[in-house]
Structure 1
Amino acid sequence: MSICKNSERAPLPVGLYPHARQVGDLWFLSGVGPRKKDSKEIPGVTLKEDGSIASYDIEAQCHSVFQNVKMILEDIGSDWSKLVDVTVFLTNMKDDFKTFNRIYADYFKENQPCRTTVEVNALPTPIAIELKCVAEV
């Protein structure tokens, strides 16, 4: 049996899926981006009139996505220290990986989950980073 949950504080998913699903002793989080709840604002992103990205600040997006993951974990009854696996999707590995890696190290000093980082061509909204996480209950 599994349980699906959503956070009241994190941005709504952009499709028909929950923020998290519990299976056994693990929580599987759906992809989490840096968007703000109840807003079209994406921290660090400036959009053109056509909705495409004019410029972005990967540092601002990193802090925001980590905050969104933290809120979801807290709202489902888990926490940051219980993360066991993180998959990172970056749209520009060449320019953003070094900054992302530095910020990641600040957030994961105590807990060091397994991690995979991949570059993708695009994400569903005009963002430069998304995380897919697994945490203990």
Structure 2
Amino acid sequence: MRVIHTADAPAHAGPVPQALASGGWIFVSALFGAYPDNRQLPNEAGAEAGQLLTNLAAILAAAGADLTDVVRVGIFMKHLQRDRPAFNEAWVRHFGEHRPARTAVEVSDFAAPARTPDS
């Protein structure tokens, strides 16, 4: 097993690696759309989704992979119905024609620094 880390994506505050590589697979820990240099979030859902996918791409690159290697993604959003269109736009921009399987679930809250505004 190999621990994957890059300064090009925000590190977790706790004892969680950005990703692990094992047996030809890369397992990426929970991500959020913060900027890697200051852990601040963009002010709107589309920008946050875009940054989240940029962070994912950076972690995959550190592991020697890219977004075309992604098989499945689990998405947790506080305002799924409201923010889904913006997320989908960022998804298409980053993944292009590649379409990994995806599950999206609405949750009531996140640990910081995830976006939580109701407006």
TM range (shorter): 0.7 to 0.9
Does residue 3 in structure 1 map to residue 9 in structure 2? Answer: no
Q: Deviation at 1:40?
A: 4.1
Give the total of aligned pairs.
116
Structure with more strand by fraction: 1
Q: Distance in 2 between matches of 1:32 and 1:123?
A: 11
After TM superposition, list the pairs within 5 Å mapping 1:1-137 onto structure 2: 2-44=1-43, 57-128=44-115
Structure with more helix by fraction: 2
Bigger Rg over Cα: 1
1:87-133 deviation line (CA, Å, top 9, x unaligned): 1111101211122123322322221111101111111114239xxxx
Moved more, 101-110 or 15-24: 101-110
Whether the aligned pair in 1 keeps the contact of 2:40 and 2:113 (CA below 8 Å) is: no
Whether the aligned pair in 2 keeps the contact of 1:92 and 1:128 (CA below 8 Å) is: no
Instruction: Describe the shift of the 1:26–1:40 C-alpha distance in structure 2 as closer, same or farther (beyond 3 A).
Output: closer
Q: Deviation at 1:86?
A: 0.6
Q: Deviation at 1:75?
A: 1.2
TM-score for both structures, normalised by structure 2: 0.88
1:18-49 deviation line (CA, Å, top 9, x unaligned): 111112010000011111123142112xxxxx
Residue identity opposite 1:64 in structure 2: Q
TM-score for both structures, normalised by structure 1: 0.77
Q: Deviation at 1:66?
A: 0.8
Residue identity opposite 1:33 in structure 2: F
Structure 2 gap segments, 5+ residues each = none
Q: Distance in 2 between matches of 1:40 and 1:104?
A: 21
Identity score, percent:
27
